[in-house]
Structures are given as structure tokens and as C-alpha cells.
Amino acid sequence: MSAEPGDARSRPGDFSAPPADGGAEPDGRRARRERGRQAVVDAAFALILEGRIPPSVGDIAERAGVSVSSVFRNFDGLADLQRQALDRFGSRFAHHIAARPVPGADLDSRIGFFVRHRVTLYEQSGPLLMLARMRALDHETMAVAVAHNRTALAAQTRECFQAEIAWRTNADAADLVSLLDALTSPEAFDLMTRTHGRSARQITRSWRSALRDLITGSPAPRPAAPAADALVAVSPGGRRREPGQDPRPHFPGYRPV
């Protein structure tokens, strides 16, 4: 049967038109509509991850291969579409937040594990997390989601370094967890990449070093300096002198003042 003028079948990319007879939506049309919705959400999700924050409706429609009007008919505005795209965060990236090191791992191994998951998470989902923080200012749903992620990241920090926290007082433990979590937060990663121009590799190196210093209270061991008696001392004028020898010049008739 050919499509009549005005029929949804005559408008490519329109997956939301209601059934012509006003009755129940046929299974085939419902499936096409749902595929179209998912294509739009996928498009918005991909554009956000590419750094298009926030993506325009036109960009989303073009990427999804649908009309702009179709986007608006299937979502309660651009904010609703962005929220649904942000909902994909859990299925794609939550495993980085849920990750825990193997029991019994030493401190350096746990630091490496922790930093690796944080940097990978922020590299892959940084723009998505940034959009969520932006939307949290005026959308309660986004504010709740951001707060949930912050709580989950703090829990990961606490559990990764439980052995180093357990013997501290409650106040000292809370101070340490908050420092470690803030140092490796999404905001810190944004600051280091955007403002300071640091690469993921450079951030990984600096975070590993800083975490160890904060947790142990001292820098990582450095190679030992040569012993003092192994150093070659040179007197003024370039002459070699033995350890303990007076560095002032000696020549006939010279008396130290």
C-alpha cells in the first residue's frame, strides 16, 4: 500500500507519528519508533563524549539520521534528551568506580590500580561528567546523579586504602580520604588537562607519586647519595685535597688568618 500525503511513512527519519487510525500502535511501528529513540540517545551520547557540550538538537538529529522535529516529539526538550544520554554512564563506565584491588595487594600495587581506573574513567567519560555537573546546577535529577557518583568515588578511595586508614583516628582518616579523593577527582583531572596541559601519562605519574607521599607521610625512597668520604674534594686552584684537609691555600710563608 502506498503512503498517503501526511502519512508518517512518507517522512524519512520521523519515528514518532501516531497510528493513522488512532488505535493501538502496530508492533512494527513501535519497534521502529524505539529504534529511532535509541539512535537519538546514542547520537547525543557520542557527541557529548566527543566534547560537544552541550550538543545542539541539529547536531544530534544529523548524527542520528532523523529530523529535528522527531527529536522534539520524542523527548521532553533538550534537557530530557541529555539526561537520557547521561543515563548511559552507568552501563558504560560504572565498572571503573566499582573496581577494587585484589585482597592482600601491597600499597604500590593498590595505588597503581586506583590511579589507572580513575584516569581511564576520566579520559573516556570526562565530557559526560562535565555536562552532568553543569546540569546539576538547575536539574535536581542531575544533582542527585552527581552526588551519587561522588559518594561512590569516595567509597572506592576508602576501600582501596583501608589498611592505611584503619589505624588512624577518625579525624585523621577522614582528612586523608578527602585529600586522596579530591586529588583524583574529575574536577582535578579537568584542571590538570585543560589549564595545565598535562597528558594522561603525566597525570598518572604525578598522582601515583602524590598519593604515596600523602599516605605514607614521606616521599618515595630515592637513590642513596654517594657517601661523603667517597666524594673527591677540590681545593681552590683545582688541586685535589683529602677529606678533612684545610681548603685554604698553603704555600711558603702563608699563615691562616
pLDDT bin (cut points 50, 70, 90) of residue 174 is: very high
- The pLDDT, as a whole number, for residue 13 is 37
Q: So what's the pLDDT on residue 226?
A: 58
C-alpha cell at 167: 589505624
Q: CA 145 to CA 177: how far, in whole Å?
A: 21
pLDDT averaged over every residue in the chain: 77
Assign 140 a pLDDT band (cuts: 50, 70, 90). confident
CB contact set of 81 (below 8 Å; sequence gap of 6+): 40, 41, 44, 57, 60, 71, 75
State mean pLDDT over 44-59. 77
Sequence ranges of the domains in the chain: 11-78, 87-216
State yes or no: pLDDT of 6 exceeds 50.
no
Q: Could you report the per-residue pLDDT of 79-130, keeping only the tens digit for each?
A: 777 777 767 766 777 888 899 999 999 999 999 999 999 999 999 887 777 7
Average pLDDT over residues 133-146: 77
Q: Would you say residue 52 has pLDDT above 80? A: no
Most confidently modeled range among 62-66, 129-133, 174-178: 174-178
Query: Residue 196 — pLDDT band, cuts 50, 70, 90?
Result: very high
pLDDT value at residue 25: 53
> What pLDDT was estimated at residue 50?
75
Contacts 24+ apart (CB under 8 A), 162-169: 163/107, 164/107, 164/215, 164/216
Phi, psi dihedral angles at 16 (to 5 degrees): -120, 0
Q: Find the range with the poorest average confidence among 62-71, 144-153, 174-183.
A: 62-71
Q: Say what the pTM is.
A: 0.61
Q: What is the pLDDT of residue 201?
A: 96
Going by pLDDT thresholds of 50, 70 and 90, the confidence category of residue 219 is low
Rounded Cα gap, residues 94 and 155, in angstroms: 13
Comparing 253 with 31, the larger pLDDT belongs to: 31
pLDDT in tens, 13-35: 333 334 444 445 566 777 777 77
* Residue 255 reports pLDDT greater than 80: no
Is the per-residue pLDDT at 12 higher than 50? no
Of residues 27 and 196, the one with the higher pLDDT is 196
Backbone angles phi, psi at 241, to 5 degrees: -130, 155
Could you give the 3-state DSSP secondary structure of residue 38?
helix
CB count within 10 Å of CB 232 equals 9
Q: Which range among 63-72, 113-122, 183-192 shows the weakest confidence by mean pLDDT?
A: 63-72
